[in-house]
Structure 1
Amino acid sequence: MIRVICVCTGTKYDEWYVDNLKHMIDTYSGIKYDKFEVMRENRYDDERGVFNKLLIFEKFKDGQNIYFDLDILIKGDVNNFLRKDFTLCSAWWRPEYHTPLNSSIMSWQGDNSWIHDEFMKDPEYNLFKYRRGMDQFIYENIKDYKLYEESDGFCSIQTINYEYDYDIYLFNQRGEDMKKKQLLTANNKFEKLWYEKYFKSNI
């Protein structure tokens, strides 16, 4: 059993992002999944949706699971991102003072509900304390994890915004850029965005 999981809560991302993720998974990822799961429960009334992501560990407790944020680009085979141990991204592009983890991609097998259980020990306090979001919570509370590195084939489009040999580009809360058709360059010229060709076209 292989599940592909995403979370769509709040108002930031509409249904196009869900459809677009499934389009990229089906077209480029190479993953032969059994279920495509969309979590829509807004239990924590979290507009950004970052803490509602923790609910995936409560709900999906068997089989092989892989989670993707909605604001990503998938343009190549990502089967190497399927992992047995709980794995998330090394945020290698961030400055040292920032949280060095990123949860845009996560994978695990079996029951990892203990991650959500840790949050539930004091949810109100955790929502207040971890204003940077779920990444900060995991970094400071969850020690049993492994990391995807740049060599696994992903990057942040905030630092590498040209087409290169990465299979996944993370937009990191800049999903609105995914719907842009053109970009105004420093020379005041409009340039077609290279990544548009990988997206579902009905924007």
Structure 2
Amino acid sequence: MDDGKLARMRQWMLTEIAVETACVREQIGKAQLDPQVMDVMGEVPRHVFVPAAFQAEAYLNQPVPIGCGKTISQPFIVALMTDLLDIHSTDSVLEIGTGLGYQTAVLSRLARQVYSVERLAGLAREARQRLDSLGYANIQTRVGDGYLGWPEHAPFDRIMVTAAPPQLPPALLDQLRNGGRMVLPVGPHDHQALMLVRKDAQGQSSTRVVLPVRFSALEEGEAADLF
């Protein structure tokens, strides 16, 4: 695809994100997402982070298959979860579920450092290649069990989980810095909710249900190499 067509597709994606945001403004508490988040959504080349067979669908406001039974989330959900984290340029961010690296790239444009954990080694390798090819230098990735987080680099100012555990993983809450935020889907496949978790300065946590969602389950246990 030529650059002009990609630019038009990306602009249409931003329009769809804005429309969907306005439709759920009562649930999310705002009619517009942070302009900085929208700018980053317009800059990160989403088509690079999907398999070649699906590049024509990259900027549609829908999930796209990325292999191993996983998908890249629809752009609205990527933008909303990023907005809810309220990332500062000095923040250290933990991401659970690298996939092919699109959400990772979005986070890296806003944060000081991103640490991303992926259980499936094949996806992690593909993500690393894509991120390196685009020159994202403030991202570290590893293959591992997302339930365990990345304790060597904790505590984190922000944590994002892009697959749904049945309940909030204690290790991730422990690795969230006082004053920090975590965004994640929680619940069984047919009854998930996107949640915002906040920790106050004293370490007390509170949760807010934002929207009903549907994500892949967050799998627990040893890493797997599926391709």
Instruction: Confirm or deny a common fold (TM above 0.5).
Output: no
Per chain length, whose mean CA-contact separation is higher, i.e. which structure has more relative contact order (CA < 8 Å, sep 6+)? Answer: 1
* TM-score normalized by the length of structure 2: 0.31
Q: Where is the helix percentage greater, Structure 1 or Structure 2?
A: 2
* TM-score normalized by the length of structure 1: 0.33
